[in-house]
Amino acid sequence: MKTPQWLGLSIAIHGLALGAVFLFEFKNSTPQQVVEFEIQSAPVAASFKQNKNHGTGKSSAQTAVANNNSGKGKKVSLKGTDLFGQQYSFNQADTGSGSGDAAAPTTDFTDRQNYIFDAGSMLADTDQWEFYRQVFERIDSQLVFDSILAQYNHFGNVFVEFEVDAQGRFVDHRLKISSDDSVLKVHSMRALRKGLKEPFRKEKWNPSGKNAILQAHFEFLHGDTAINFKKQKEFGKAIFVFKRATIEGPITNDIVDTVVSKETIINPYLIGERLEKYNKKKRLKAGEYDPFASYRNDPDYNL
């Protein structure tokens, strides 16, 4: 037989156990706040058409969810959420820029100082050095200074801001060009378009995976042809300089100056060639001959 002391202790233990059970059940009976996540198959449209909801008894949110189920793609949304005592009700698609987006340059593409200080810079802003080098070499390989340009006094400058895709192909978008000579404008653009027509080898692609906007200065000079071999070698910036020079000068407007010169005295056979050029220039003035007809018909002529 148990003593009164053991009996009292047993009653105390059972009382504590019953109290713990009662407290646990009370806490569990408290309403819980729920966070509901819903996987939906398509972004919600920016606006809902009320005429589709009219008479259906469905809210606009319910209709949006129904519309989502018929689309493609996946997204995570929060719907009617009571989160940490705050009410949230939103559905936001994941947006981002495409891989083809190119950042606009911060410099004026017609500013000569940028080409003086930045073209050939060793200070690279990005890891696109080899990509820029490939762009330069492709264009440079197609750029010549035809003697006919010099004969008709086409000397000067062309400034271009252009876009290429990640594989090195010219993109005819956001093109800017400035020059006082439309013939030189076409001549420069022909070299640019032809040089960047085909994609680079994969190892030469833009490491950023995005399009790039580049700036170029084309300069056509009368003078020493040694400048034709002095190529840009540093490509820290997306800025290029192309220079071409020739010792051939414009055809004169005077027949005597055309026939009598140092060159014709040394080599009389040049007289016939000089006279032919002189006559062509006269025909050009009369509208009977145009060596640049294909240039004038080029779409880039009027840019």
Q: How large is the average pLDDT for residues 186-190?
A: 97
Domain count, the chain: 2
pTM over 0.85: no
Confidence band of 182 (pLDDT split at 50, 70, 90) = very high
Q: How large is the average pLDDT for residues 186-194?
A: 97
| Per-residue pLDDT, 274 | 72
Over the range 115-128, which residues count as b (16 or more CB within 10 Å of their CB) and which as e? beebbbeeeeeeeb
Q: Tell me, yes or no, whether 117 and 245 share the same domain.
A: yes
- Top pLDDT among 53 and 239 is at 239
Q: Tell me, yes or no, whether 171 and 239 share the same domain.
A: yes
pLDDT tens-digit map of 78-87: 344 343 343 3
Task: Quote the CA–CA distance of 128 and 193 in Å, as a whole number.
Answer: 21
Q: Residue 121 corresponds to which amino acid?
A: S
On average, the pLDDT of the chain sits at 74
Residue 262 forms part of a structural domain = no
Q: Tell me, yes or no, whether 216 and 171 share the same domain.
A: yes
- Top pLDDT among 184 and 116 is at 184
Kindly report the CATH number assigned to the domain that includes residue 186: 3.30.1150
Q: How large is the average pLDDT for residues 148-169?
A: 95
- Out of 171-175, 176-180, 183-187, pick the least confident: 171-175
> Which of 250, 281, 296 is where one domain is finished?
250
Helix (H, G, I), strand (E, B) or coil at 138: helix
- Top pLDDT among 77 and 133 is at 133
Residue 281 forms part of a structural domain = no
| Per-residue pLDDT, 257 | 65
| Per-residue pLDDT, 43 | 45
Task: Quote the CA–CA distance of 149 and 153 in Å, as a whole number.
Answer: 6
Task: Quote the CA–CA distance of 200 and 131 in Å, as a whole number.
Answer: 9
Sheet of strand 239-246: strand arrangement: 170-179, 156-164, 212-222, 239-246
pLDDT tens-digit map of 102-134: 777 778 899 888 888 777 666 666 689 999 999
Q: Which one-letter DSSP state was computed for residue 90? A: E
Residue 282 forms part of a structural domain = no
| Per-residue pLDDT, 39 | 42
Q: Tell me, yes or no, whether 118 and 58 share the same domain.
A: no
Residue 67 lies in domain: 37-90
Nearest to 186 by CA among 221, 151, 232, 154: 154
Q: Tell me, yes or no, whether 152 and 191 share the same domain.
A: yes
3-class SS shares of the chain: helix, strand, coil, % to 5: 40, 20, 45
- Top pLDDT among 276 and 62 is at 276
| Per-residue pLDDT, 7 | 56
Residues pairing with 78 in the sheet: 37, 90
Residue 276 forms part of a structural domain = no
Confidence band of 250 (pLDDT split at 50, 70, 90) = confident
